[in-house]
Amino acid sequence: MVIVDQIPDLVCPAGSLPALKAAVDNGADAVYFGFSNTTNARNFPGLNFDMDEAQQGVDYAHQKNCKVMLALNTYPQSENWPLWTQALQSAADLKLDAVIIADLGLLQYATQHHPDLSRHLSVQGSATNQYAIAFYYEQFKVKRVILPRVLSMTQVSNVVEATPIEVEVFGFGSLCVMVEGRCIMSSYVTGESPNTSGVCSPAHAVSWEETPNGRQSRLNNVLIDRYQPGEAAGYPTLCKGRFQTGDDIFYAIEEPTSLNVLEILPELVNIGVAAIKIEGRQRSPAYIAKVTGIFRTALDTYKANPDSYQPDPDWLQQLQRVSEGCSTTLGALHRPWQ
C-alpha cells in the first residue's frame, strides 16, 4: 500500500484579476502573475496587473491561504534596468511569497537588496542539470527551480535526486520547442527578442488577411499559416506555423499541442517533484477555472487512494477540448529511448 504524505503544490497562472480569482477558487495552492510591462514573458496588451490590481489579487489569495508569486522572467537591458528593480520593490511592498527570476544580475540585486523575498529560478533561466542549479543555489540561495520542458522523466528524476532545492515542473499547457530562455526565432523575424520584450509575437508585428486561398496570418510580413474555411486560427508564432518543405506543407518545427501529465502524476509525486505548474497566463478565466479544477481533483484523488489512481477519462476529454490543437502529449517526459 502506497502512503502519500505530501503531494506537489498546484501552481496556476493569472493573467488578470478574474483569472487569479478563478485559480484560487478552484484549488490552486499558488498563483503567479506579471506586471503590465516588459518585466514578464507574457507582455500582451490588456494582460497582467497594475499595483492596485496586484494588491487586490494578493489580498484575495492570501485570505484563502493561496500563495502569490511574481514572474520577473525576462532579461533587463542597461537602459531599462530600473524597471526591473522597481518591480522587485513592488514585490516586497506587496509581501509576495516568491519572485520568479531568470536574469543573473537581477538575482544578484534581489539577493542583496531584498534578501527576505523568496527567489525561484525561472524556466527562462534554462537550468537543466544539477551543476547549473547548484550554482544558483550557492550564489543566490534560490529556493526552487522550474525545469524547462525539454527533459525526459529520467532526467527530471535525476535532477530531483541530485538537487538540494525544490523542483517545479510544468504539468499542462503550451509546449516550447526550444530550451526556454534561449530562443532567437522570433527575434530573427521581428527584431524583438521574447527574452527582453516579453512576447514571442509582438502584436504590432502580427497581421491577418483574407485571400482567395483562405485566411492567412503573418509575422512581420512573413507568412506563418493559411487556414481553411471554418478552421480554428491560433495566435501566430514562428515555431508553430505551417511551412512548405519539399512538396508538403505541414507543421515543420512544432505541432500545436498541450502538455498533460495526468497519466504520469504518480511518477511525478514518487520522484519528489515539489510543484506542478499550469501554463497559460494569456488564457481566459474560464480556461483557468477548468484546468485548475481538474488538476486539483486529480491530485486530491491520488492522495486519497494512490494505489487505485487512474486519470478519469472525462478529465482527459475536457482538457483535450481546451488544449492547443485539441490534442495533448507527454512531450519530452515520455521519450521511449530514455
Strand-pair category, 166-174 with 258-260: antiparallel
**Separation of alpha carbons 139 and 242, rounded Å:** 43
Domain membership flag for residue 120 = yes
Q: Encode pLDDT of 11-46 as tens digits.
A: 999 999 999 999 999 999 999 999 999 999 888 888
Reduce the DSSP state of residue 327 to 3 states and report it. Answer: coil
**Separation of alpha carbons 178 and 302, rounded Å:** 32
Do 102 and 150 lie in one domain? The reply is: yes
Residue 2, pLDDT > 60, answer no
Count of CA atoms in the C-beta half-sphere (13 A) of 280: 29
Range of the domain at 224: 196-250
Do 233 and 261 lie in one domain? The reply is: no
Model confidence band, residue 89 (pLDDT cutoffs 50, 70, 90)? very high
Q: Cα angle vertex 12, ends 11, 14, to 5°?
A: 140
Q: Encode pLDDT of 250-303 as tens digits.
A: 888 877 888 999 999 999 999 999 999 999 999 999 999 999 999 999 999 999
Q: What is the DSSP string of 97-138?
A: SEEEE--HHHHHHHHHH-TTS-EEE-GGG---SHHHHHHHHH
Do 264 and 139 lie in one domain? The reply is: yes
Do 229 and 271 lie in one domain? The reply is: no
Domain membership flag for residue 231 = yes
Do 62 and 147 lie in one domain? The reply is: yes
List CB contacts of 241: < 8 A, sequence separation 6 or more: 217, 219, 223, 224, 225, 251, 252, 253
Grid cell digits, residue 92: 516586497
Do 200 and 308 lie in one domain? The reply is: no
The confidence score (pLDDT) of residue 1 equals: 47
Domain membership flag for residue 191 = no
Final residue before a domain boundary, out of 250, 266, 293: 250
Do 165 and 209 lie in one domain? The reply is: no
Q: Encode pLDDT of 40-69 as tens digits.
A: 988 888 899 999 999 999 999 999 999 999
Do 171 and 314 lie in one domain? The reply is: yes
Domain membership flag for residue 186 = no
Do 17 and 86 lie in one domain? The reply is: yes
Final residue before a domain boundary, out of 226, 250, 274: 250
Q: Encode pLDDT of 194-250 as tens digits.
A: 777 777 888 888 899 988 888 999 999 989 899 888 887 777 888 888 888 888 888
- The residue among 176 and 280 whose pLDDT is bigger is 280
Do 92 and 131 lie in one domain? The reply is: yes
Tally of domains in the chain: 2
**Separation of alpha carbons 76 and 86, rounded Å:** 12
**Separation of alpha carbons 9 and 171, rounded Å:** 11
**Separation of alpha carbons 125 and 180, rounded Å:** 7
**Separation of alpha carbons 7 and 267, rounded Å:** 11
Work out the mean pLDDT of the chain and round it to a whole number: 91
Q: What's the average model confidence in pLDDT over 159-164?
A: 95
Do 245 and 262 lie in one domain? The reply is: no
Residue 324, pLDDT > 90, answer no
Domain membership flag for residue 181 = no
Do 94 and 229 lie in one domain? The reply is: no
Model confidence band, residue 337 (pLDDT cutoffs 50, 70, 90)? low
Please give the DSSP secondary-structure letter assigned to residue 192. -
